[in-house]
Structure 1
Amino acid sequence: VDRLADAGATVLHGTGRLAGPGVVEVTAPDGSVSTFRASRGVVLNPGTRPARLPIEGLADTPYWTNREVVQVTDLPGSLTVIGGGPIGAEITQVMARFGVRVTLLEAGPRILGPLEPEASSVVADALVADGVRVMAGVEIGSVTHTDGTFTVTLGDGQVVHSDRLLVAAGRTPNLDDLGLETVGLDPTARTIEVDERLRAGEGLWAIGDVTGHGAFTHVSMYQSTIALHDVLGEDGPPASYHALPHVTFTDPEAGGVGLTEQQARDRGLSVRVGTTPLEQSSRGWLHGPGGAGVIKVVEDTDRGVLVGATVVGPAGGEILGHLALAVHAEVPVATLRTMIYAYPTFHRAIESALDDLS
């Protein structure tokens, strides 16, 4: 808040709501309402909240979401996690390494489903090595909480007991009470449609999770710069998401950029892929235990450029930077193959993955 105030912004504590084109009402904690009329426009970035799952009995239990779990001061003896996405996987590993007995439940066929299957497999193996019971492809039937114990009954009749339950399966955009109907937008929509300048309407911009381009802090930051130029009437490059990077901060880290192999094939591209184990790279065998990982690259052979890449391993998110640049700038694969890759490094394995393309 101090940084914003020092920059000249007026910071209000309260709940904001659209009340017409260019009009915002702010309800303060004491119930008082202030109305602001923008001379230039309004920027929306309301974010998301943990989704409420329609699981029988769940709503009547004191389960955790990501908001509560990061505030705990006492560790439970056991924890069940529903949801094998980035939040579920990260918190699962944190708790397991603090000595908590963790069971991770995922409805999909594998954890970290949006990643390449090879990446999901490496992270799942790491969790199992940390003592986690990983159960994918399961259906959650019901949840009860009795005498301090959570009981999760699965669709096949299996039962999982634990001291605590974390639900990390999905996010809900904060659009339902934003007043979108007052500016001609659908309040029941899950995303706000924006153009390449992040415009959602006349004098209205939207950035962040609610635009549907990825629930990542760096997407919001990227979009804010583009929206700012437009708010000020300045020229600038339009938004482009073909090289969107993302990292799940497990150990090993799992990062990806652009399209997965399946996404590229679904788009009808002529696809060629290359993979290499990270532990067999020059740095990998020096690193020893904990150096497992994989690099996978996806090429559009018609254009001879990478359209996607995945890195799992120590500092995987940092290694990804090289490949994110290649995808973003559409550097020809032939050019990438002529580079000199420093020895001994993890990123040298990129060269091996490119060689595997042929």
Structure 2
Amino acid sequence: MPVHVDAVVVGLGPGGEEVAGRLADAGVDVVGVDRHLVGGECPYWGCIPSKIMVRAADLVAEGHRIPGMAGTAMVRAEWHPVARNVREATADWDDTAAVDRLTSRGCRVLRGTARLTGRDEVTVRAPDGQETVLQAGRAIVLATGTEPAPPPIPGLDGTPYWTNRDAVAAERLPRSLIVLGGGAIGLELGQAFARFGTDVTVVESAPRLLPQEEPEAGELLARVLSDEGVQVRTGARAALVVHDGNGFTLSGERGERLDAERLLVATGRRTDLAGLGVVNIGVDPDARALPVDERMRVLTASDSAPGVWALGDITGKGAFTHMAVYQAGIVVNGILRHGGAVAAYHAVPRVTFTDPEVGAVGLTEEQARERGLAVRVGLADVARSSRGYIHRAGNQGLVKVVVDDREGVLVGATSVGPWGGEVLGALTVAVHARVPVDELHRTIWAFPTFHRAIGDALRDAG
């Protein structure tokens, strides 16, 4: 017999957990479902543990910068404390505390794989095969996130390649590592391993690293990584992967050959809409993302699916924890009929936590021109703007601004450098609030700071 509830939340990552908890706080009878760990990718394999690795690697690099600036130092990097700290932060990949956090608020939690079996029905298959049918009287919320998407390279399937989850859980440093994919995940993890002594090669099929960001950012990062001893291969497509029991050999389309003990595949992520059963609410199961309206209600070919909402990665608006939590607030307001602001995506911030950090918000220059905007751009060198102020990876970095010439506002910006993600804060506010560029020109930028480059970039844009 079906279990009747007010709401079902499928996927208990940061966004789903936020919705389930807030609905329960409001007295809604809600059941949360997840087949992995409650809390999602971020606290166990993504944001939190990876930044523990990044921070540790930054400390190693800082130690090496002491000679010539602050005396002498001998740095001996050890992976064991890093692996220990990751395990402590993830509770050794145990979500008991997260489950208790939700149930204490009145939310019931089911472990299993959920599938939509009707417009108001979710069937959950537990690990032991038992099925529970949930009928939602008020709302179904879909927040299942994404999974690593390995590319269809001959020979890859069946080999013990790493995803980000394996890399984060590594108790021992590999002697050598090929990173397939020059995006945020691959570069963050690749640089961290390299700073602890692993021989790292990054292979990216696009012409530059971070292909979704400004070209100047990818080019600068490639130079920094190369200076640190990381081999960077851009415009390189993998044609074959071989694993002989001891290591990997990756062959490229142009005949190049790379050997390494481990292979980290970081080429993107995907969602399984077909497996989620979206066809049963009138959505194309082959779609790349769930179509949603400005209130996060799922759209079908003809209208919205009554009572079905979505948030996070599966909406295709940005695979970021902060995006999922932002959308969660809109979903809760919609279900509880509290009104509130609708979703707006013109100022989505994103940060790649390499050293130097790469922060970006809004549109790149290329994206703005593709939309037909008349834009002008400004570029500033952080080293010149800070007049030699040195910290972390020297003061290498840049700020780039993209100005809509007709509206006189920023539509995008990039901040690369030490604390690039923090410098991004001012740029995010400017893009989000559509602060007139004339007003930004009148802003006083403190000296000597990295954010002072914002003013120089604005002057360069004219």
TM-score bracket for the superposition, by shorter chain length: over 0.9
State whether residues 392 and 418 of structure 2, in contact with CA within 8 Å, keep that contact through their aligned partners in structure 1. Answer: no
Listed as ranges, the gaps of 5+ residues in structure 1 are: none
Distance 1:76 1:349 in 2: 39
Q: How do 1:1-358 residues align onto structure 2 when only pairs under 5 Å count?
A: 1-200=99-298, 201-282=305-386, 285-287=389-391, 289-358=393-462
What one-letter code is carried by the residue in structure 1 that aligns with 2:196? F
Distance 1:215 1:147 in 2: 34
What one-letter code is carried by the residue in structure 2 that aligns with 1:58? L
Q: Which moved more, 1:235-244 or 1:337-346?
A: 337-346
The structure-2 alpha-carbon separation of the partners of 1:168 and 1:261, relative to structure 1 and needing over 3 Å to count, comes to same
- Superposed CA deviations along residues 158-190 of structure 1, whole A, max 9, x for unmatched, are 110000101110111132211112211122221
State whether residues 201 and 232 of structure 2, in contact with CA within 8 Å, keep that contact through their aligned partners in structure 1. Answer: yes
Q: Secondary structure at the match of 1:181?
A: helix
What one-letter code is carried by the residue in structure 1 that aligns with 2:273? L
Distance 1:288 1:194 in 2: 42
State whether residues 410 and 437 of structure 2, in contact with CA within 8 Å, keep that contact through their aligned partners in structure 1. Answer: yes
Q: Which moved more, 1:77-86 or 1:117-126?
A: 117-126
What one-letter code is carried by the residue in structure 2 that aligns with 1:4? L
Distance 1:215 1:22 in 2: 26
- Superposed CA deviations along residues 304-355 of structure 1, whole A, max 9, x for unmatched, are 1000000001110110010010001100000011112222211111111111
State whether residues 58 and 142 of structure 1, in contact with CA within 8 Å, keep that contact through their aligned partners in structure 2. Answer: yes
State whether residues 47 and 174 of structure 1, in contact with CA within 8 Å, keep that contact through their aligned partners in structure 2. Answer: no
Q: Secondary structure at the match of 1:177?
A: helix
Q: Which moved more, 1:162-171 or 1:3-12?
A: 3-12
- Superposed CA deviations along residues 251-303 of structure 1, whole A, max 9, x for unmatched, are 11101001111111111111111111111223753438522000000101111
The structure-2 alpha-carbon separation of the partners of 1:284 and 1:196, relative to structure 1 and needing over 3 Å to count, comes to farther
What one-letter code is carried by the residue in structure 2 that aligns with 1:341? W
State whether residues 150 and 266 of structure 2, in contact with CA within 8 Å, keep that contact through their aligned partners in structure 1. Answer: no
Distance 2:116 2:255 in 1: 47
Distance 1:283 1:9 in 2: 55
Q: Secondary structure at the match of 2:275?
A: coil
The structure-2 alpha-carbon separation of the partners of 1:233 and 1:245, relative to structure 1 and needing over 3 Å to count, comes to same
Q: Secondary structure at the match of 2:251?
A: strand
Distance 1:32 1:286 in 2: 60
State TM-score, norm by structure 1.
0.97
State whether residues 355 and 393 of structure 2, in contact with CA within 8 Å, keep that contact through their aligned partners in structure 1. Answer: no
State whether residues 283 and 345 of structure 1, in contact with CA within 8 Å, keep that contact through their aligned partners in structure 2. Answer: no
What one-letter code is carried by the residue in structure 2 that aligns with 1:259? L
Listed as ranges, the gaps of 5+ residues in structure 2 are: 1-98, 299-304
Equivalent pairs, count: 358
Q: Secondary structure at the match of 1:26?
A: strand
User: What's the offset of the Cα at 1:147?
Assistant: 3.7
State whether residues 252 and 316 of structure 1, in contact with CA within 8 Å, keep that contact through their aligned partners in structure 2. Answer: yes
State TM-score, norm by structure 2.
0.76
- Quick one: percent identity of the two aligned structures? 52
The structure-2 alpha-carbon separation of the partners of 1:339 and 1:62, relative to structure 1 and needing over 3 Å to count, comes to same
State whether residues 176 and 187 of structure 1, in contact with CA within 8 Å, keep that contact through their aligned partners in structure 2. Answer: yes
Distance 1:304 1:334 in 2: 8
Distance 2:394 2:124 in 1: 50
Q: Secondary structure at the match of 1:39?
A: strand
- Superposed CA deviations along residues 91-147 of structure 1, whole A, max 9, x for unmatched, are 110110110001110000001001101111111112112211000001211000114
Distance 2:386 2:199 in 1: 35
Distance 2:284 2:402 in 1: 37
Distance 2:311 2:374 in 1: 33
Q: Secondary structure at the match of 1:94?
A: helix
State whether residues 14 and 27 of structure 1, in contact with CA within 8 Å, keep that contact through their aligned partners in structure 2. Answer: yes
